[in-house]
Amino acid sequence: MRAGLFGRRRQYDRERLLTEAARAQRKGKSRKAIGLYQEVLGKEPGNAKVHQRLAPLLARTRQPQAAWASYRQVAEPLAEQGFVEHALGIYREAAQNLPRESAVWLAIAELEVKRGRRADAVAALCAGRRQLRSRAERPKAIQLLTRAHEVDPAALEPGLELAGLLARSGARAGAVALLETLARGRRGRALRRVRLRQLNLSPGPRAVWRWLRSLLPS
């Protein structure tokens, strides 16, 4: 409750608070709207509708962790109740507003896997990785590509990119092992790409011979 006229405290009135918040939002007064929505959540912390209104405002005012927490409050119960497509819609909105939050892309991928859509899961993880380009964000990028490789070990593009990031991060042994895995069962252009990456990472007679051999017609 907030203080009213002459210091008297107002009774909690959800509808009034929501009306005031919506008005403030329409006028572009994001921080005022946030405060009003949070006042409602102080009384009703599990109110998914309020979290859904609040989350984009928090993202807009550069509060990504709080925004993601609100998006989760909306999506997780939906997924638990079996409304996976609806939950995915919430997470996709979160990805638009919080593109550099790796947890958002991981959440999308897990629901896609749950639906049996592994290709879509890998695509989401790769889309998230493309948002993370700075050196400081490299660990998050590696996390997303590692999950993509787990979901589909045969996917070449995320595997090659993951190997490159591992090598640049000092995990050379991990990169070497990953490239060996990617080479298995490959032929033609795909194998040549893997062998060339191996040659660049570990130049030497054996690497040269394997790359040259990959150039021969299969």
56-105, pLDDT tens digit by residue? 999 999 999 999 999 999 999 999 999 999 999 999 999 999 999 999 99
Which residues are within 8 A (CB) of 28 and not within 5 positions of it... i.e. 6 or more apart? none
- CATH code of the domain made up of 10-85: 1.25.40.10
> Looking at the chain, which residues constitute the CATH 1.25.40.10 domain(s)?
10-85
pTM of the predicted model as reported, rounded to 2 decimal places: 0.89
The pLDDT tens digits for 10-67 are 788 999 999 999 999 999 999 999 999 999 999 999 999 999 999 999 999 999 999 9
